[in-house]
């Protein structure tokens, strides 16, 4: 019966990708996509006004709100709601941050469809889902403990973290503004806040730090 199916909500700003995920999920006899949203504002409005889903699949790159900020907002509104990140962003860079924001799993978009279905089922059971590589990396960090540099990184907001990653990937402020659909002024404010929190002297220091950090993460 349809009423007994797991209700899935998709949050992704690419309609074609939402359609592909919906086809994959709806092909399962016990799951169905009952709601979709293309940005954070629409997602929150649906969660506040409609029947709640059993699980939400969230991309990290959204038009009006960072996916990490959205996950935090959803976790505050509905603490028990399972959230699974489905993103093109590198798991080794973003997964730990996503889990801290309230997500219970992370799947990269280039993974086969069956991996997504397995991840959904694991998260619905109350488990966390990460790739073997990421799971090992997190366990290694847990054993070794956080360094001072990691503690500074953890002081960044989700938006600042996103900007730092893009700086380390070689993007200019203009390019970052375009990628995140934000103004250049907003990106420059983020850069200034990042420099202050990471105790960096100037813009050149920031670029060196970001480049070194992202290389170390990989």
User: Which tokens hold the place of 47?
Assistant: 């969660």
Per-residue pLDDT of the chain (218 residues; tens, 9 = 90+): 445 899 999 999 999 999 999 999 999 999 999 999 999 899 999 998 867 899 999 998 887 778 888 998 998 899 899 999 999 888 877 888 888 888 999 999 999 999 999 999 999 998 889 888 887 776 666 555 555 556 677 788 888 888 988 898 889 999 999 988 889 999 999 999 999 888 888 888 899 888 877 666 54
Which pLDDT value is given to residue 2? Answer: 45
Domains of the chain: 2-138 (3.40.50.2300), 148-217 (1.10.10.10)
Q: What is the pLDDT of residue 198?
A: 85
CB contact at 8 A, 85 and 71: yes
* 19 class by beta-carbon count within 10 Å (0-12 exposed, 13-18 middle, 19+ buried): middle
Show Cβ contacts of residue 55 under 8 Å, excluding neighbours closer than 6 positions. 6, 7, 8, 9, 81, 82, 83, 84, 120, 123, 124
Burial of 201 (0-12, 13-18, 19+ CB in 10 A): exposed
Give pLDDT, residue 1. Answer: 40
């Amino acid at each position: 019966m349809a009423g007994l199916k797991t209700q899935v909500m998709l949050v992704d700003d690419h309609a074609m990708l939402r359609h592909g995920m919906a086809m994959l999920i709806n092909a399962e006899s016990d799951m169905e996509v009952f709601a979709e949203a293309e940005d954070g504002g629409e997602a929150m409005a649906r969660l506040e006004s409609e029947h709640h889903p059993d699980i939400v699949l969230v991309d990290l790159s959204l038009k009006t709100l960072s996916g990490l900020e959205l996950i935090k907002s959803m976790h505050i509104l509905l603490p028990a709601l399972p959230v699974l990140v489905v993103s093109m962003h590198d798991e080794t860079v973003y997964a730990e941050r996503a889990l801290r924001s309230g997500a219970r799993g992370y799947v990269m978009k280039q993974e086969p469809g069956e991996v997504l279905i397995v991840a959904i089922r694991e998260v619905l059971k109350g488990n966390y889902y990460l790739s073997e590589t990421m799971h090992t990396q997190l366990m290694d960090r847990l054993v070794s403990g956080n360094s001072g540099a990691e503690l500074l990184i953890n002081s960044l907001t989700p938006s600042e973290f996103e900007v730092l990653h893009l700086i380390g990937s070689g993007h200019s402020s203009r390019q970052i503004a375009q990628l995140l659909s934000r103004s250049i002024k907003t990106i420059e404010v983020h850069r200034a806040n990042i420099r202050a929190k990471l105790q960096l002297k100037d813009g050149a220091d920031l670029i060196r730090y970001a480049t070194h950090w992202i290389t170390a993460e990989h």
